[in-house]
Amino acid sequence: MNNWRITLAVENQEPGGQLEYDFGDGQETNSSPGMPGQKLALITHPDYYNFTGNTGTWAMNQYQNALKELQEKHGIQDLDIVQPELATREDAALVHTPRYVWDVFGPTNRSKHHAWSGGPWDKTAQAAVLRSTGGMLRANQEAMQRGVAVQMYDAFHHAYPGHGEGFCVLNDIAIAAKKLSHQGKRVMVVDTDVHQGQGTAVCTKGDTNIYTLSTHERENYPGYKEHSSQDVELEYHVTDQEYLGLLENALVKAVQEFGKPDLVMYVAGTDLYGGDKLSHTRVTIAGIRQRDAMVLRFFGSQGVPVSVSVPQGYAENPRDSVTMIKNTVMESRKALQTYYGKS
């Protein structure tokens, strides 16, 4: 039996700055996915952005701006741009009801869809939903093969089995997790969006192959909270160090309760940032980056694949969104190079 030893180092943590944990899970830890020199897969597609009404609060253009800056300003060329397929009815049916699947995949000649706030519910809107869900599925696939992959898009974790909610039409997190669960894989969802992933909790409830961890503000949307496998509710004005300490404890507890997962789906929500219109924290951009590094180190040090999604949030300053998306990609790239595919 091999113990799973986790070493976490958090800047300025008191006391000591470094903690170690042992988990006797009985699983080997001396192998990891990937190959030497593997490129980081970024999952994206024009359908993500080319929908009618991609403006204002709903604008999803910061991902494109971040990718352009990564390549042109920072000179990062070792990124593998992967375009996903559309999600299928069979994919959606893994978590959604037959009536709702028909509603999403059916006719699009409607002025609106109750869960879609990006303009009219037309073919471009439907394509954005189905393509991005396919992107989450592909991100998991690429992560299992390479070690880390990044879905350059939001995570639609508010959708329920029978209806969408909170800008979320299909629950791509739950669909992608369920698909692996049906293959006998154990999936841990680590959702750090400032809003609870309540839809994911309901969509995956009762599946012993899926563990859901959500860290979110207590007094924020949704008004009614569901029960994840583990919920960490944040009070207003939480600071970097307070948040990182809570997250560290939650990760340890998650592995103690669930064991070593085959894949982690990490929702790297940028709306945790104190400069977000819908956040009440005091978490800084540096704290967001430390969070990303912590999660990727926690699982990467043991060769557990991590599929990353990056909800861009609603930052008061759009430049902050671009910076945080770039930081998440760079931390993912660093983790891939550090922990996966070593010869």
In a domain, 143, yes or no: yes
Cα–Cα distance measured from residue 290 to residue 286, given in angstroms and rounded to the nearest whole number? 6
In a domain, 31, yes or no: no
Residues, the chain: 343
In a domain, 247, yes or no: yes
Provide the CATH number for the domain around residue 231.
3.40.800.20
Per-residue pLDDT of the chain (343 residues; tens, 9 = 90+): 345 555 554 444 443 344 445 545 444 344 567 666 789 999 999 999 888 876 665 566 789 999 999 999 888 888 999 999 999 999 999 999 999 999 999 988 776 777 887 778 899 999 999 999 999 999 999 999 999 999 999 999 999 999 999 889 999 999 999 999 999 999 999 999 999 999 999 999 999 999 999 999 998 998 999 999 999 999 999 999 999 999 999 999 999 999 999 999 999 999 999 999 998 999 999 999 999 999 999 999 999 999 999 998 889 999 999 999 999 999 999 999 999 976 4
Q: Which residue range(s) make up the domain with 292?
A: 36-339
- How many Cα atoms sit within 13 Å of 247 on the Cβ side? 34
In a domain, 47, yes or no: yes
In a domain, 251, yes or no: yes
pTM of the model: 0.91
Instruction: Give the total number of structural domains in the chain.
Output: 1
pLDDT at 33: 79
In a domain, 12, yes or no: no
- How many Cα atoms sit within 13 Å of 265 on the Cβ side? 37
In a domain, 68, yes or no: yes
In a domain, 9, yes or no: no
Alpha-carbon dihedral angle through residues 153, 38, 174, 99, given to the nearest 10 degrees = 70
